[in-house]
């Protein structure tokens, strides 16, 4: 197995033809038999992998090279999702722009060479898979909830949390799905699962969804300032499904395909 083939399997599952900006092969490799994969894999995990006899390390979150430097560029896929839920494309672009600029500002000063240089010195194949896994999670959870509540117009936020807890990754996680804006008995309305596209688009993006008719947003995480802003908007609800558990859903799908291809895969660092 090669890093190229591992990447291609993940891309194909997510319906992508090439690597998005947040997904890169930092150190290519071939003859790979044992993969160590986790949500966050840095230099300590590279050293652990070498000690334990693995021949490739895969991180979910981008830690190196263009995957971290160009992370903000992948956020523009959120425009398509906003349009899908009825937000005008011009409005979607403008509401997302500030958050993209903020993320760019933060990533530009980062040490993009820290982990990849260690991998090169160790001659350890190293890559990350971010958006492909998140797309798989987003699609799975959206379809699951749509099917579950198709004939239940008065679905409540508690109903959604209960449904999420039927999914294995959420069952096993210590960080359970939680209502961050709204009450357990509040009606959900139209549900939008937003788990792909880099990171949260921010309060104005959430507001755009609500103004377009979405009643409840399901996301992996929500910052305190966004939570406060949505509460003050007084329009919609927010449920945080959980970060590590949500990441794990898509990653587990990819891992299963790698294992079918004959690769031994060990999960760590947050994968449920």
Per residue in 191-209, pLDDT tens?
Answer: 999 999 888 888 999 999 9
Region 75-102: mean pLDDT is 94
Residues with Cβ within 8 Å of residue 59, at least 6 apart in sequence:
37, 38, 39, 40, 41, 42, 45, 115, 126, 127, 128
Check the CA dihedral 188-189-195-201 and report its sign.
negative
Which of 58-72, 136-150, 237-251, 255-269 has the weakest average pLDDT? Answer: 58-72
pLDDT at 264: 98
d(CA 93, CA 71) in angstroms, rounded, equals 17
pLDDT at 109: 86
Q: State the CB neighbour count (10 A cutoff) for residue 262.
A: 8
**Sequential DSSP letters for 53-112:** T-SEEEESS--SHHHHHTGGGGGGHHHHHHHHTT--HHHHHHHHHHHHHHHHHHHTTS-T
Q: Which domains does the chain have, with CATH numbers?
A: 3-129+247-268 (3.40.1390), 135-243 (3.40.1390.30)
Per residue in 92-114, pLDDT tens?
Answer: 999 999 888 888 888 888 898 99
Region 226-233: mean pLDDT is 94
Region 257-272: mean pLDDT is 98
pLDDT at 229: 94
pLDDT of 47 strictly over 90? yes
d(CA 139, CA 195) in angstroms, rounded, equals 9
Region 229-254: mean pLDDT is 97
Strands 25-27 and 126-128: antiparallel
Region 122-141: mean pLDDT is 98
Q: Note if the pTM is more than 0.75.
A: yes
When pLDDT is cut at 50, 70 and 90, the band that residue 155 belongs to is very high
% pLDDT > 70, the chain: 100
pLDDT at 25: 98
4 vs 100: which has the higher pLDDT = 4
Check the CA dihedral 54-3-130-144 and report its sign.
negative
Instruction: Report the SS3 class of residue 121.
Output: helix
The whole-chain average pLDDT of the chain stands at: 96
pLDDT at 238: 98
């Amino acid at each position: 197995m090669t890093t190229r083939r591992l990447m291609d399997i993940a891309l194909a599952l997510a319906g992508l033809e090439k690597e998005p900006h947040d997904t890169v092969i930092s150190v290519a490799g071939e003859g790979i038999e044992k993969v160590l994969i986790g949500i966050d894999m840095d230099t300590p995990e590279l050293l652990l992998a070498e000690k334990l006899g693995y021949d490739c390390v895969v991180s979910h979150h981008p830690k190196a090279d263009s995957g971290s430097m160009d992370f903000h560029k992948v956020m523009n896929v959120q425009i398509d999702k906003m349009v899908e839920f009825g937000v005008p494309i011009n409005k979607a672009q403008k509401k997302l722009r500030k958050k993209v600029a903020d993320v760019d500002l933060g990533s530009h000063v980062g040490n993009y060479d820290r982990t990849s240089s260690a991998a090169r010195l160790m001659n350890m194949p190293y890559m990350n898979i971010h958006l492909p896994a998140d797309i798989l999670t987003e699609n799975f959870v959206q379809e699951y909830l749509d099917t579950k509540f198709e004939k239940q117009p008065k679905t409540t936020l508690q109903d959604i949390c209960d449904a999420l807890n039927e999914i294995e990754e959420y069952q096993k996680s210590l960080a359970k799905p939680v209502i961050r804006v709204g009450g357990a008995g509040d009606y959900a309305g139209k549900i939008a699962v937003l788990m792909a596209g880099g990171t949260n688009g921010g309060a104005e993006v959430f507001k755009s969804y609500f103004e377009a008719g979405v009643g409840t947003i399901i996301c992996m995480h929500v910052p305190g300032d966004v939570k406060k802003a949505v509460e003050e908007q007084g329009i919609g609800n927010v449920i945080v499904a959980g970060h590590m558990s949500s990441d794990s859903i898509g990653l587990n799908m990819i891992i299963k395909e790698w294992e079918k291809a004959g690769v031994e895969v060990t999960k760590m660092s947050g994968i449920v």
